[in-house]
Structure 1
Amino acid sequence: MKKILISIFVLALTLSSCQNNKSQDQTDQKKDEPVQVEKKEQKDYKSIGLEYAIGTKAELGKNLMTKMKEDGPIHALEFCNVQAMPITDSMSKKYNADIKRVSDKNRNPSNLASEQEIEYIRQFSQMVSNEDQVEPIIETTEDKVKFYYPITTNSMCLKCHGKVGEDIATETYNKIIELYPEDKAIGYQENEVRGIWRIYFDKE
């Protein structure tokens, strides 16, 4: 009888220990959950920001390429001067976001970057120069997401943003100065950061 009582006592202790371990495992799992959610949120913010940036870039690029092919760089400049910001604003409405292109070497005075944005441009320029994988910069407030991503030059960009006399024809440069007397957005080479997408959108 004594042996039976001892066996029952040992079994009860074992079950209690298993239950405690299970409870601790559940507690540990719950502790891990906020980290997993935060990673998921950051991934979602990256995807959303890239969708908005790529979508706006595609809309601007489509219209610019059409003007460039039809009428050349001078008419493309005239088009950008009048239509680039309205197109960007229309994409802001489409995505319900605040979308803007800013630069430390801006062409349009409205596209001048802030001091903080200029620092981000430097960071992205270093990434591109080092051929590092470029990741967006994402900041969050209580209800907003601030997304930053580089705008890099290609061969077409250089027709209006390259070196005068080499990439930019004289008549094109004259038109640039006519439309943008305080222009700073020249002298670039291919695959350089000439500005960033600055996109704000709601968390929800």
Structure 2
Amino acid sequence: MKKILISIFVLALTLSSCQNNKSQDQTDQKKDESVQVENKEQKDYKSIGLEYAIGTKAELGKNLMTKMKEDGPIHALEFCNVQAMPITDSMSRKYNADIKRVSNKNRNSANAASEKEIDIIKEFSEVIAKGEKPEPIIDEQESQVAFYFPLVTNSMCLKCHGEVGKDISKSDYDKVLELYPADKAIGYQENEVRGIWRIYFDK
């Protein structure tokens, strides 16, 4: 009889332990799910978009500056004509995102801005004109994020996008028109919005 009672007691303890473990497992699982949801809510789309934009800008700039120093503006222009979009596409694959530069005064027709993007360019232009620091525009959709950030001109940009006869020689601009007959990307001064980064990536 005593052995039977001991066996029942041990069985009860075992069942109780199993139940407690199951309950603990469920609690841990709920905590993990809660953390995952919280992390998703806290995802910093601004930082992600800036990383992609700055990384792509650096890759393009590195190659462009090398050509500019070695061969001058015309050869840098020829480089852009052939390599700028493939480099951008390679960065899209690297980041698993859709990265594009668009403008309301585009040089390449493939970089023409949509009506919505033109409005965003105007918005950034107003901010820059006031001497204020632009902040990225984030448009969250159901499963994707659209990120927008301005491309702002500096003295180097003017060698290909400044005023003809002042920043760009007439002969150099003739070459621009050979490569881009419908060019609109001139007449800029320093610290103006030449276009924007338009980047789509998954949430």
Residue identity matched to 2:156: M
| Amino acid paired to 1:48 | I
Give the root-mean-square deviation of aligned CA atoms.
1.3
Code of the residue aligned with 1:76 in structure 2: it is A
1:150 aligned counterpart, secondary structure: strand
Alignment of structure 1 residues 159-198 onto 2, 5 Å? 159-198=159-198
Pairs aligned (count): 166
CA distance, structure 1, for counterparts of residue 133 and residue 75 of structure 2 = 35
- In the TM superposition, what is the alpha-carbon distance from 1:139 to its structure 2 partner? 0.4
Return the letter of the residue paired with 1:181. Answer: P
1:83 partnered with 2:88: no
Instruction: Quote the sequence identity (%).
Output: 73
Alpha-carbon distance between aligned partners in 1 of 2:74 and 2:106, rounded to the nearest angstrom: 18
Q: Deviations over 1:60-79 (max 9, x none)?
A: 00000000000000000100
Over residues 24-63 of structure 1, what are the superposed CA-to-partner deviations in whole Å (9 max), with x where a residue is unaligned?
xxxxxxxxxxxx979833xx10000000000000000000
Aligned match of 1:18: none
2:113 aligned partner: 113
Partner of 2:50, secondary structure, is: helix
User: Whole-Å Cα distance in 1 between the matches of residues 126 and 42 of structure 2?
Assistant: 27
Other-structure match for 1:49: 49
- In structure 2, how many angstroms separate the alpha carbons of the residues matched to 1:137 and 1:154? 22
TM-score by length of 1: 0.79
Unaligned runs of 5+ in 2: 1-37
Paired with 2:104 and 2:82, the residues of 1 have a C-alpha distance of 21
- CA–CA separation in structure 2 for the residues paired with 1:38 and 1:134: 26
Structure 1 gap segments, 5+ residues each: 1-35
